[in-house]
């Protein structure tokens, strides 16, 4: 692909929500973890949501289960990519249950059931001040300038969060998400 084809392809992936969990932990992933200043190793987790777990509410999901069952919150990043083109990290948190098992109880909106999680002990929130603060990296030289411009554009947009109660009420539960995804598959 040439520069314009690369950009058009990447834009379509963004619009269609085609970021996904990297299939393997390759040099692109390990270099990105280093770029984040993180010396921890990422690992795969199968999502194990409760029926009440909400999409895009990892902090609220984990706080609820910790209150009800114990354990603790583990902050870090969920890594998404478009292989060989682009990689990004979303702030994320998972549950460490009282037995020490690490569990991702937050369903992915697209139904993807495995995540690549990178623990980050320096984090204590999953909420950004600006969308452009999300770590992103072009993996192909022809896309570096485009991704840099995308980040600058996103930095201009502040994040406004509704109350936790409104977020919980308005985000789809895992139970409803499964019904929605099952209808799409038919």
Arithmetic mean of pLDDT, 81-92: 92
d(CA 29, CA 84): 10
Cα-Cα-Cα-Cα torsion 20, 25, 30, 35, nearest 10 degrees, comes to 10
Q: What is the pLDDT at residue 1?
A: 54
Alpha-helical (H) ranges within 16-83 are 27-35, 58-69
Characterise 156 by phi-psi region: left (phi > 0), alpha (psi -120 to 50), beta (else).
Answer: alpha
Average pLDDT over the chain reads: 88
Q: What is the pLDDT at residue 113?
A: 95
Q: What is the pLDDT at residue 5?
A: 77
List the structure tokens of 124: 């204590």
- Per-residue pLDDT tens for 143-177? 888 888 888 877 777 667 788 898 899 999 999 99
d(CA 168, CA 99): 27
% of the chain residues with pLDDT over 70: 91
List the structure tokens of 103: 């569990």
Q: What is the pLDDT at residue 3?
A: 58
pTM: predicted TM-score of the whole model, two decimal places = 0.87
Cα 133 to chain center, whole Å?
A: 13
φ and ψ at 169, to 5 degrees?
A: -70, -35
- Per-residue pLDDT tens for 33-54? 999 998 899 999 999 999 999 9
Among 26, 42, 15, which residue's Cα sits nearest to residue 119? 42
- Per-residue pLDDT tens for 107-149? 998 899 999 999 999 998 887 665 657 898 989 888 888 888 8
Q: What is the pLDDT at residue 77?
A: 95
86 by Cβ neighbours in 10 Å (0-12 / 13-18 / 19+) ranks as: buried
Asked whether the predicted pLDDT for residue 15 surpasses 90, the reply is no
Q: Are 47 and 158 in contact (CB under 8 A)?
A: no
Arithmetic mean of pLDDT, 101-108: 97
d(CA 58, CA 103): 11
d(CA 88, CA 13): 13
Asked whether the predicted pLDDT for residue 66 surpasses 60, the reply is yes
């Amino acid at each position: 692909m040439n520069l314009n084809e690369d950009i058009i392809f990447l834009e379509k992936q963004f619009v269609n929500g085609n970021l996904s969990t990297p299939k393997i932990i390759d040099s692109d992933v390990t270099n990105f973890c280093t770029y984040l200043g993180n010396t921890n190793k990422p690992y795969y987790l199968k999502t194990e949501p409760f029926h009440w777990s909400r999409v895009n509410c990892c902090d609220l999901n984990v706080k609820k289960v910790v209150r009800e069952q114990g354990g603790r919150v583990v902050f870090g990043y969920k890594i998404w990519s478009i292989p060989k083109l682009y990689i990004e990290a979303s702030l994320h948190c998972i549950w460490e249950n009282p037995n020490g098992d690490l569990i991702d109880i937050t369903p992915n909106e697209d139904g993807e059931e495995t995540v690549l999680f990178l623990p980050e002990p320096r984090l204590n929130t999953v909420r950004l001040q600006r969308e452009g603060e999300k770590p992103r990296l072009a993996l192909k030289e022809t896309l570096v300038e485009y991704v840099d411009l995308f980040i600058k554009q996103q930095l201009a947009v502040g994040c406004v969060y509704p109350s936790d109660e409104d977020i919980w009420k308005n985000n789809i539960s895992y139970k409803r998400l499964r019904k929605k995804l099952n209808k799409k598959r038919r």
